[in-house]
Amino acid sequence: MTQPDTTPAPAGTAPGSRTAGLLARVDRLERALDVAGPRVPDATASAVRGALATVRERLALGADHTVVALVGGTGSGKSSLFNALTGLPLADVGVSRPTTSQVTACVWAHDASALLDWLGVARDRRMERESELDGESQADLRGLILLDLPDHDSVEPAHREVVDRLLPLADLLVWVVDPQKYADDALHSGYLRHLTGHEGAMLVVVNQMDTVPVHAQAGLLRDVSRLLEEDGLRGVGVHSASARTGDGVPVVRGVLASTVAGHTVAQVRASAEIDDAARGLARVLGAAEVAPDALPRADAVTTLATAAGLEPALRLVEEGVAAGRTARGFTEPVQRDRVADLRGRWLDAAAAGLPAPWRSAVDAALPDHRALSAAVDDALGGVVLEGRRAGAATALRVLAAVLGVGGLVAAGLAVAAVAGGSSGGGVRALLAVVALALAVLLELLGRRVRRAAGRRGAARARDAALAALGTVVDERLVAPAAAVLAEHRAVREAAAVGPAVGSSSPGDGGATSSPGPAVPAP
């Protein structure tokens, strides 16, 4: 018996879309492990990498080929049906058939050398069906590997060994029976009754239907379906065909085309193994992470402003300008105990829902409270908390002083005039009153202008200080926490498991939903 060859796929052979998609998932998980690094436990990382390495080995054979095996007993016309489906005289037909345990394969496009080596198909019993002469007439079967297996009821034990080895590797089993031996116990008790639950991966074709009278054909097909149900197989597609006349062959070919359009055994298995690896990784991750824009940035800025004594400093600015002098604030360093408390609360908020290793990663990424305090002091040291005296207020004050002096002089002159009995004292007195009144009004107006200037100066100083504190929060708290959270999100998304691979039954014209018989695959 030909032994499987584990030769890997030829170097430089481009994978098909299914294989490429699965390899992309493997790459993504491997990159996620690299990103996670020590934040994933060693045991988990080793298990996931080992599983992914196994998948890569499987995918070296490709997941883009749909393997369909024609299985039947001696005299069923299985090889004739194989030739009819391929349109080429490839399989051995007639008396020479029972003498060989060789498998014949026909491949529609897509290089399948590595897979055929692994299946144990001899190189001289392979044929590639699709060629330039076919144009697109064979495009619907592109990716199909059609196998003609030895007779399962052969007297040669080696024949059955080949059949038993290849059955679990097929995406679709086509059981070919003839009108005389479709009820053969070797088929039903030896194979079919052991395949319950795998109805979606098999099809029965009653060949040589041209030998059955037309009026009896429908009853024969019903009888085949009855026997299948007695075997516990429900919903298996039953079709009639004649390899000799070609009747029914296009229908069978259409089922094969539908199977090709579906998922392959290799694809289902590789996808399941990738899903298992992803679930293993997901178990050591959090269910979600805090979004960067949900981090308590505004609260952090407010807390740092309080710890730095911003409001008292701003009052000095406002009061100084209102009093006509300049004032500077931030003469004391930021309160470190409040900064330490802020850092702890920030860590709790940023690492909420994360496993301990990821929380530790956030903690390590943040500066300690001493470094954070120093950053606050440095940032506020560059902010000038100094209000500018208003020029208008100064002008009003000078004018008020001039009027005040003029009023006092006028008042003195008025008193002197009255005492000396000269005329004009009343006018001077009136001028003095007006001048003094205007001086008082201008002084009050100047004070109001100074207070407004003080408020404006304090507002400018507040904006500058808060901007500086915001920069500290963004650079020292938001950025490092967001970087770790982004890495967790990338790993978590890579470990997400999508919908299960599977589809409908080929008996109904769909693709494989059950990957092969219940015999364990190598």
| Neighbour tally for 11: CB within 10 Å | 5
Contacts of 324 (CB under 8 A, 6+ apart): 389, 393, 394, 397, 450
Question: What does the pLDDT look like over 378-412, one tens digit per residue?
Answer: 888 877 665 455 555 556 566 656 656 665 665 66
pLDDT of residue 507 exceeding 60 = no
Classify 210 as helix, strand or coil.
helix
Q: Given pLDDT bands bounded at 50, 70 and 90, which one contains residue 44? A: very high
- Find the distance separating the first CA and the last CA of the chain, reported in whole Å: 16
Contact 207, 224 (CB under 8 A): no
Q: What pLDDT is stored for residue 130 in this prediction?
A: 65
Q: What does the alpha-carbon distance between residue 455 and residue 110 come to, in Å, rounded to a whole number?
A: 79
Which of residues 450 and 129 earns the better pLDDT score? 129
Contact 453, 373 (CB under 8 A): no
Two structure tokens written together for 417: 């005039």
Least confident of 128-137, 250-259, 474-483: 128-137
Question: What does the pLDDT look like over 70-127, one tens digit per residue?
Answer: 998 888 888 899 999 988 766 555 544 444 568 899 998 667 888 888 888 888 888 8
Q: What pLDDT is stored for residue 113 in this prediction?
A: 85
Question: What does the pLDDT look like over 6-15, one tens digit per residue?
Answer: 334 443 345 6
pLDDT of residue 247 exceeding 90 = yes
Classify 94 as helix, strand or coil.
coil
Which of residues 434 and 522 earns the better pLDDT score? 434
Contacts of 164 (CB under 8 A, 6+ apart): 519
For the stretch 17-31, what's the b/e string if a residue is b when 16 or more beta carbons lie within 10 angstroms of its beta carbon?
A: ebbeebbebbebbbe
Two structure tokens written together for 51: 């599983």
Task: Over range 40-69, report the average pLDDT.
Answer: 88
Q: Given pLDDT bands bounded at 50, 70 and 90, which one contains residue 61? A: confident
Least confident of 68-77, 346-355, 414-423, 499-508: 499-508
Q: What pLDDT is stored for residue 82 in this prediction?
A: 92
Q: What percent of the chain has pLDDT over 90?
A: 37
Q: What pLDDT is stored for residue 110 in this prediction?
A: 65
The 8-class DSSP code of residue 128 comes to E
Closest CA to 377 of 280, 292, 304, 278: 304
Contact 377, 339 (CB under 8 A): no
Which of residues 300 and 405 earns the better pLDDT score? 300
Place of tokens 């429908």: 218
* Partners of residue 445 on adjacent β-strands: none
Q: What does the alpha-carbon distance between residue 393 and residue 370 come to, in Å, rounded to a whole number?
A: 44
Distances from the Cα of 432 to the Cα of 340, 399, 439, 445, 446, angstroms? 65, 15, 10, 20, 21
Task: Over range 450-466, report the average pLDDT.
Answer: 73
Q: What does the alpha-carbon distance between residue 194 and residue 220 come to, in Å, rounded to a whole number?
A: 23
pTM of the full structure: 0.63
- What's the helix, strand, coil split of the chain in %, to 5? 60, 5, 35
Two structure tokens written together for 399: 């004018």
Two structure tokens written together for 292: 């960067």
pLDDT of residue 483 exceeding 50 = yes
Which domains does the chain show, CATH number per domain?
Answer: 17-283+502-508 (3.40.50.300), 292-494 (no CATH)
Mean pLDDT (the chain, rounded): 79
Q: What does the alpha-carbon distance between residue 66 and residue 412 come to, in Å, rounded to a whole number?
A: 119
Q: What pLDDT is stored for residue 328 in this prediction?
A: 58
Question: What does the pLDDT look like over 159-211, one tens digit per residue?
Answer: 888 888 888 888 889 999 999 888 888 788 888 888 887 788 889 999 999 99
**Phi, psi dihedral angles at 56 (to 5 degrees):** -60, -40
The alpha carbon of 386 is separated from its chain's Cα centroid by a whole number of angstroms, namely 52
Among 162-166, 224-228, 346-350, top mean pLDDT goes to 346-350
Which of residues 249 and 312 earns the better pLDDT score? 249
Which of residues 40 and 432 earns the better pLDDT score? 40
